[in-house]
Structure 1
Amino acid sequence: MNMTFRWYGRGNDTVTLEQVKQIPGVKGIVWGLHQKPVGELWEKAEIEAEMKYIQSYGFHGDVVESVNIHEAIKLGNEDRDRYIENYKQTIRHLGEYGVKVICYNFMPIFDWTRTDLFKELPDGSTALFYEKAKVENLDPQELVDTISSAGNLTLPGWEPEKMAQIKELFAAYENVTEDDLWENLGYFLQEILPVAEQAGIKMAIHPDDPPWSIFGLPRIMTGRNSLEKLLGISDSPSNGITFCTGSLGANPDNDMVALAAEFAGRSPFAHIRNVKIYENGDFIETSHLTADGSIDLKRVVKELSDIQYDGYVRPDHGRHLWNEKCRPGYGLYDRALGIMYLHGLWDAYQS
Structure 2
Amino acid sequence: MRMVFRWYGEGNDTVTLKQIRQIPGVEGVVWALHDVPAGEEWPMDKILEVKRQVDPYGLHLEVVESVNVHEDIKLGLPTRDRYIENYQRTIEKLATVGVKTICYNFMPVFDWTRTELFKEMEDGSTALFFEKAKIDNMDPMELVRRIASNPDLTMPGWEPERLGRLSELFEAYKGVTEEDLWRNLQYFLEAIIPVAERSGIRMAIHPDDPPWSIFGLPRIVTSQANIRRLLKMVDHPNNGVTLCSGSLGANPENDIPAMVREFADRIPFAHIRNVRVYPNGDFIETSHRSCDGTVDIAEVVRAYHEIGYTGYVRPDHGRHIWDEKCRPGYGLYDRALGIMYLWGAWDALERSKRGNA
TM-score scaled by structure 2? Answer: 0.97
CA distance in 2, matches of 1:292, 1:151: 32
Match for 1:80: what amino acid?
R
Which moves more between the two structures, 232-241 or 81-90? 232-241
Q: Deviations over 1:307-351 (max 9, x none)?
A: 110000000000001111110000000000000000000101011
1:18 maps to 18
Report runs of 4+ in structure 1 exceeding 4 Å deviation.
Answer: none
Residue 265 of structure 1 deviates from its aligned partner by 2.5
1:227 maps to 227
Residue 238 of structure 1 deviates from its aligned partner by 0.7
CA distance in 2, matches of 1:5, 1:278: 29
CA distance in 1, matches of 2:283, 2:181: 27
CA distance in 1, matches of 2:71, 2:330: 26
Q: Deviations over 1:85-126 (max 9, x none)?
A: 000000000011110000000000000000000000100000
CA distance in 2, matches of 1:79, 1:156: 24
After the TM superposition, which residues 25-44 of structure 1 pair with which residues of structure 2 at under 5 Å, given as runs? 25-44=25-44
CA distance in 2, matches of 1:150, 1:276: 26
CA distance in 2, matches of 1:272, 1:137: 30
1:196 maps to 196
Q: Deviations over 1:238-295 (max 9, x none)?
A: 1000010000000011011211221233100000000000000000000001110000
CA distance in 2, matches of 1:56, 1:308: 31
2:279 maps to 279
CA distance in 1, matches of 2:178, 2:344: 40
2:298 maps to 298
CA distance in 2, matches of 1:181, 1:15: 36
1:339 maps to 339
Match for 1:265: what amino acid?
D
Secondary structure of 1:62's counterpart equals: strand
CA distance in 2, matches of 1:102, 1:207: 14
Residue 141 of structure 1 deviates from its aligned partner by 0.3
Secondary structure of 1:210's counterpart equals: coil
CA distance in 1, matches of 2:326, 2:70: 27
Residue 49 of structure 1 deviates from its aligned partner by 1.5
Secondary structure of 2:26's counterpart equals: coil
Contact 1:150/1:328, CA 8 A, preserved across alignment: no
Match for 2:305: what amino acid?
S
1:160 aligns with 2:125: no
Match for 2:322: what amino acid?
W
CA distance in 1, matches of 2:182, 2:260: 23
Match for 2:205: what amino acid?
I
Match for 1:152: what amino acid?
D
2:9 maps to 9
Residue 52 of structure 1 deviates from its aligned partner by 2.6
CA distance in 1, matches of 2:167, 2:51: 37
Q: Give 5+ residue unaligned stretches, structure 2.
A: 352-357
Identity value in percent: 64
1:213 maps to 213
Secondary structure of 1:56's counterpart equals: helix
CA distance in 1, matches of 2:121, 2:196: 42
Q: Give 5+ residue unaligned stretches, structure 1.
A: none
CA distance in 1, matches of 2:233, 2:143: 33
1:119 aligns with 2:126: no
1:308 maps to 308
2:354 maps to none
CA distance in 1, matches of 2:79, 2:144: 25
Match for 1:104: what amino acid?
Y
1:59 maps to 59
CA distance in 2, matches of 1:24, 1:155: 27
Q: Deviations over 1:147-183 (max 9, x none)?
A: 0113321111100111111100000001100000000
What CA RMSD, in Å, does the superposition of the two structures yield over aligned residues? 0.7
CA distance in 1, matches of 2:125, 2:69: 34
Contact 1:243/1:264, CA 8 A, preserved across alignment: no
Residue 43 of structure 1 deviates from its aligned partner by 1.7
CA distance change for structure 1 residues 53 and 185 in 2, over 3 Å: closer, same or farther?
same
Which moves more between the two structures, 52-61 or 180-189? 52-61
Secondary structure of 2:61's counterpart equals: coil
After the TM superposition, which residues 141-160 of structure 1 pair with which residues of structure 2 at under 5 Å, given as runs? 141-160=141-160
Q: Deviations over 1:57-112 (max 9, x none)?
A: 01011000000000000001011000000000000000111100000000000000
Residue 45 of structure 1 deviates from its aligned partner by 1.6
1:257 maps to 257
2:269 maps to 269
CA distance in 1, matches of 2:236, 2:228: 14
Contact 1:260/1:304, CA 8 A, preserved across alignment: yes
Contact 1:64/1:101, CA 8 A, preserved across alignment: yes
